[in-house]
Structure 1
């Protein structure tokens, strides 16, 4: 077997400045023809030009009038052009003619299947180029630092919509009866931000307060589903203009829903592509959580128009500069547009908690990861780049203040506009704006894996209260890590006198420090990390933790602190540094909790304990515990929405119904069954916020007739959100035959490839389902591997299939299988999932008897 060549970036003796490209997609043969003239700058004498090309046949190449010889390297994904004479230094033109295929892999230039209102099946031609798939549409310098301008012409059928990054400047009819559509020249940008769409779409449009034309393209006949995203975009672009101090630089902004789309969305400059569930909102049938999610995704992608598009990372090592910042900025935007979502509390649950969970693993990675071959990039499109990146930025923002943060961003974006930057360039701008040692502090968070746990204890000397704070690396298994880890940790400390205002602020730059509690009254509780902004865990002494519990019960402790307190405690229990019984005891202090996000995070942590009890004889006892815990809030909320109710209360109602339904609460199950039947019969439509919870309860507790009725909902609904809603709960069925049927259905042609993972994930909610899913994945690996072809959906599939086992004996089987059946995009996820199985097994062994004893006493 030939040894794999070491990856090398493209030589830059010749670089592009402008591409003039014409593409003609054939939507029946699923092919395309292309030609391009690339204006290049020859910087050094050479007779060779190397560019990226994959899955493309290049028929001819010329430099000026000189014909070149073509050599392809499929492994390196390059085309090498050798010319008979040296190329003259300076400007020249490289002209190519080529052909390619509109693939079905949701990458490069690909085909997306859709159904017209008349029921006809058709295809659109669309693009997804990040990270390295522009080379599948046109030969190019497909590296983020190789920026150029683009003049695009699409030759398309007359009845099709043709879109690219810029507005149309001319149209004409070709001799063959097609329409030639030419777009304005783009700004200087990276190839991965180029985009084309050809298909049938309707749209809604409007202008923001600065006159930027915004259109939301929807499937035919569904323009009303684009209205919400349009309103979000109209508010968001001016907000970012004000926040960054730089106007949106393009004349138009298109947002378009694509039927087959692997990611959630892609920030192509001026033409942002979305999965339908990430853009479309049905006024009658979309839930509050879906609206919120659409607002966040729109906010994220529009933030990229500045962060990523205007200023781009130099190489994929700095991916987090794009994703971490956009993931932070999206919350600023949604908080501005929709203050009723209390979105910063949800950040703690959705981003910070997810980052800490993943980053505590031994198989995590630093925010900045050296990336060689671009194939390695998929592995770092994860909660570290996105969620930890965003969490570190939030901590930085709090530490230096909003004014300095905005000033530094403006300086950075102006200095590197239409160029590329490194992480250090951003730190330097923020340091200059704030006068603080940003690079020194933040490099400890981006260059090393993991985060600290701060052990806190209180002492009393001569009547003076003091805290001793000690940092060490937090490991999910509770063991002391190998190596010397130390962070510079921004710390705020608050107390019961004014829970929202820190009385002490510092940066912990050593292993340990003692803080004098001057002015803090005797009996006042003390809490670190108010607002749960710091990217660290806190382990209090027993006495300090006990003093905080009353403030949880009476909710005098703010919501983000109530959330963070139990989240830290659960992580400590999972690591064996506390007991699962402590978690169950403290959770009882939350019975009067009113905040959706606090309940959501608590419910998630309790679900892990419930999952482990599936492997014991006390699962029914855990169900009884959950019923007792959630019954009071269920009674307060009821089943019907109240006039003027917050969307968060609607989301909390759905969470509580789901939790009680899954735990077997009789009244909840009966009411869910009744409302389901009324909904199916058309007697009374089920509120969109409750559908997932009711569908899941009905599938879990019902029979085959209920399953068949829900399948009919799937088959007849035209709303992607409703279809996915059904897919996510189908796997809650109980018996082996039904589970097997659901798994087979997931990979049938009745389910879009992008949605199959959601369907399979539902199956893994039960111990039997996990066992059958893993067997299914092994038996069907050739098909599944081909479906996802090395992308991040492959990693998602692997993760949901294996991570929730609680028996170590399955680990050798998993490792052996993937050694024989390599899944390169999932290598890191396989290691992380095996580590998660170890954690489950250890927690179960450690706490099973104590959990059983506690639950038995609670239910006696």
Structure 2
């Protein structure tokens, strides 16, 4: 067996400045032909040019008029051209002719299947190049620092839409009856941002206040589903221009929904591609959750037009530089466009909480992780690069203030426009704008993995109140870290007198510090991290925690603080640093809670306890507890929409009814069954906001007829959002044969590969379903590994299949399986899942009897 070659970046003796490329896709044979003339600069004497190429056959290569010898290396995904004479220094042209395959792997230049309004099945050709798949469409220098301009021509059937990054500048009919479409030259940019789409689409269009043409492309006959995203984009581009002080630089931007698409969306400059459910909103059948989701993703991808496209990270080590920023900036955008979403409270639940959960594991990684071989890149498209990156930026923004933040961003974007940058370049711009030691403070957050837990206790001596704060690395298993981790922690402190305004701010730069509370009234509660902005957890003394509970009950503590308080407590309990019974006791203080996001985070944490209790005889007691806790808020929100209610009210209704339905609340189950039957019969359409809750309840608590009727909903719906909504709950069935049928259905040709993982996730929510999912994955691994070859999908499949086990005995079996069946894109996820299994098992052993005792006695 040949030894694996050590990865090396391309030699840069010859570098590109422009690609003039023509591609002709064959939508029946699923192949394409291509030719390109690359303008290059020869910087050093050489006879050899090495560029990236994968799954492409190169028929010929010339440098100027000199023919070269071609050598392909599939291991390194490179093509090496050797010429008989030395290449002349300076500018030259590299000309290639090649062919390739329109693959079905959702990467590179690939085919996507769709159905016309007349019911005819057809295929289009689309691209997904990030991180390293442009090389599957054209031989190129496929590294982010090797920027160039692109002149693209697509030769396509005359009745197909052809799109690329720039506007069309000419088109003509070819001798073979095809249409040759040429696009304007792109700005200088990285190869992973190049894009083309060929297919049949409708569109809606508009212009923003600066005259930029915006089009949203949809499946045929569904143009109205693009209207919502169009309105978001029309508001967002001018907002970003004003916020960054830098205008969007292209004359147009297209947003297009792709039927087969592995990830959520991709920020190709001027041609942003989306999974359909991440872009399309149906006026009648889309939920408030989906609208918000679309708004966030549109905001994220448009933020990339500045962060990532205009200024690009130098190498994938700095991936977070674009992803963390876009994940933060998207919330600025949605807060601007839709203040009614209270989106920054949701940030705490959606981004910060997920980041802290993952980053507490021993198998986490720093925000900036060295990347050698590009195959390693897929592993860091995770909650650390995105969610923790965004959370650190949010903390930075709060620390230096909005004015300095915007000034620093403008300086950074202006200085590095059309260039590549390192993390330190951004820190330097923000430091200059703010006058604060940004690099010194923030490097402690990007260069080491993990985050601190702040141990807080209050003392009273001679009438003087004081806080002692001590930092240490928070470990998910509660064990002390042997490494000497230390952070520079921006800290704000509030008290009962003014919960919204800190009375004390500092940067904790040592292990421990004592702070005087002489200015705080006697008896006032004191709380760290107002707004839950800091990327750390807080472990209060029992006395301090008790003093905060009344402020939760009467909601004088702001929503983000109410959320953060119980979220920290749950994490401490799972780590064994507090009791799970304390989580249940404190949860009772939230019975009067009216904030959707607080309830959402609390429900998530209680669901984790419920998952652990599935492996005991007191699972029914946990259901009873959830019913008692959620009944009051369910009575307040009811089943029907109220005049003038906000989207968050609709989302809260769906959440609490789902919790009650899944817990077996009799009235909720009966009402769900009744409404489902009316929906199926056509008597009364089910409100889109209620569908997930109702569908899940009737599958979990109903019979085979309910399941069969829901399958009909899947088969007849043409809306991707509705199909995924059904797929997510099909696995709630209880019968072993039905569960296996659902798993088989998930990998059938009736389910798109990117959606199948949603089906697996639903199955894996029960003890039996979890075991059957793992057995199914093992038995069908060969097919699944081909289906989910795209790294992010493979990692999600593996994570869903194994992470929620509670029995340690399963770990050796999983290890042995993946030893024999390597899953390189999921190797980090596998290790993280082992940790989660250990954490689940430890929590069960430690707290099962105490939880059972408490649940037996409590009456809420």
Asked if Structure 1 and Structure 2 have the same fold, meaning a TM-score greater than 0.5 normalized by the shorter chain, the answer is yes
Other-structure match for 1:603: 603
Gaps of at least 5 residues in structure 1 are none
Count of aligned pairs: 860
Superposed CA offset, 1:624-654 (max 9, x none)? 0000000000000110000110100100000
CA distance in 1, matches of 2:385, 2:128: 20
Match of 1:449 in 2: 449
Task: Give the deviation of 1:462 after TM superposition.
Answer: 1.4
**CA–CA distance in structure 1, aligned partners of residues 465 and 712 of structure 2:** 66
What are the Cα deviations for residues 204-230 of structure 1, in whole angstroms up to 9, with x where unaligned?
Answer: 000000000000000000000000000
Give the secondary-structure state (helix, strand or coil) at the position aligned to 1:531.
helix
For residues 419 and 73 of structure 1, the distance between their equivalents in structure 2, rounded to whole angstroms, comes to 30
CA distance in 2, matches of 1:637, 1:859: 22
1:395-452 CA-to-partner distances (Å, cap 9, x unmatched) read 0000000000000000000000000000000000000000000000000000000000
Q: Match of 2:665?
A: 665
1:160 aligns to what? 160
Q: Which residue matches 2:262?
A: 262
Deviations 1:454-508 (A, max 9, x none): 0000001111110000000000000011210000000000000000000000000
Query: Could you tell me how far apart the structure 2 residues matched to 1:792 and 1:423 are?
Result: 24
Distance 1:349 1:84 in 2: 62
Secondary structure at 1:641 match in 2? coil
**In the TM superposition, what is the alpha-carbon distance from 1:518 to its structure 2 partner?**
2.6
Separation in 2, partners of 1:192, 1:271 = 12
Separation (CA, whole Å) in 2 of partners of 1:790 and 1:661: 36
1:92 paired residue number:
92
* Residues 665-814 of structure 1: pairs in structure 2 closer than 5 A: 665-814=665-814
1:53 and 2:57 are equivalent in the alignment: no
Pairwise CA distance, 1:776: 0.3
Show the 5 A alignment for 1:18-417. 18-417=18-417
Q: What is the alpha-carbon distance in structure 1 between the residues aligned to residue 157 and residue 682 of structure 2?
A: 42
Paired residues of 2:263 and 2:275 also in contact (CA < 8 A): yes
Is the contact between residue 42 and residue 90 of structure 1 (CA under 8 Å) also seen in structure 2? Answer: yes
Q: For each residue in 1:800-819, what CA deviation from the matched residue of structure 2 results, as whole angstroms up to 9, or x when unmatched?
A: 00000000000010111001
* Contact 2:107 2:790 (8 Å CA) reproduced: no
> How far, CA to CA, are the matches of 1:816 and 1:533 in structure 2?
42
Give the 3-state SS of the residue equivalent to 2:751 in structure 1. Answer: coil
8 Å contact from structure 1 (residues 171, 180) kept in 2: yes
Quick one: distance in 2 between partners of 1:377 and 1:754?
A: 19
Number of the residue aligned with 1:641: 641
- Indicate whether 1:834 and 2:839 are aligned: no
CA contact (8 A) 2:395 2:535 kept: yes
Distance in 1, Cα, partners of 2:668 & 2:802? 31
Partner deviation per Cα, 1:245-287 (whole Å, 9 max, x = no partner): 0000000010000000000000000000000000000000000
CA distance in 2, matches of 1:516, 1:221: 66
**Structure 2 SS opposite 1:522:** coil
3-state SS of 2:530 partner: coil
| 8 Å CA contact 2:105, 2:790 repeated in 1 | no
Q: Is the 8 A contact 1:286 1:688 kept in 2?
A: yes
- Structure 2 partner of 1:497: 497
CA RMSD of aligned residues (A): 0.5
Report which stretch shifted further, 784-793 or 644-653.
784-793
Structure 2 unaligned runs (5+)? none
- The offset of 1:617, in angstroms, is 0.2
How far apart in 2 are the matches of 1:67 and 1:638? Answer: 75
How far is the alpha carbon of 1:790 from its aligned partner? 4.7
Question: In the alignment, which residue of structure 1 is the partner of 2:519?
Answer: 519
1:440 aligns with 2:406: no
Return the alpha-carbon distance in structure 1 between the equivalents of residues 638 and 114 of structure 2. Answer: 40
List per-residue Cα deviations over 1:772-795 (Å, max 9, x = no partner).
Answer: 000000000000001111511000
The 1-side partners of 2:750 and 2:165 are apart by 33
1:507 corresponding residue in structure 2? 507
Contact 2:262-2:790 at 8 Å conserved across structures: no
Q: What CA distance in whole angstroms lies between the structure 2 residues aligned with 1:487 and 1:708?
A: 55
Question: Structure 2 CA distance, aligned partners of 1:470 and 1:415?
Answer: 40
SS of the residue 1:466 aligns to:
strand
Which residue of structure 2 lines up, in the alignment, with residue 589 of structure 1? 589
Matches of residues 616-655 of structure 1 in structure 2 within 5 Å? 616-655=616-655
Normalized against structure 1, the TM-score is what? 1.00
Moved over 4 A (4+): none
Query: Which position in structure 2 is the counterpart of 1:544?
Result: 544
Q: Which position in structure 2 is the counterpart of 1:429?
A: 429
Cα distance in 2, alignment partners of residues 181 and 760 from structure 1: 42
Q: Distance between the aligned counterparts of 1:378 and 1:88, measured in 2?
A: 38
Q: Is the 8 A contact 2:258 2:276 kept in 1?
A: yes
Q: Is the 8 A contact 1:621 1:859 kept in 2?
A: no
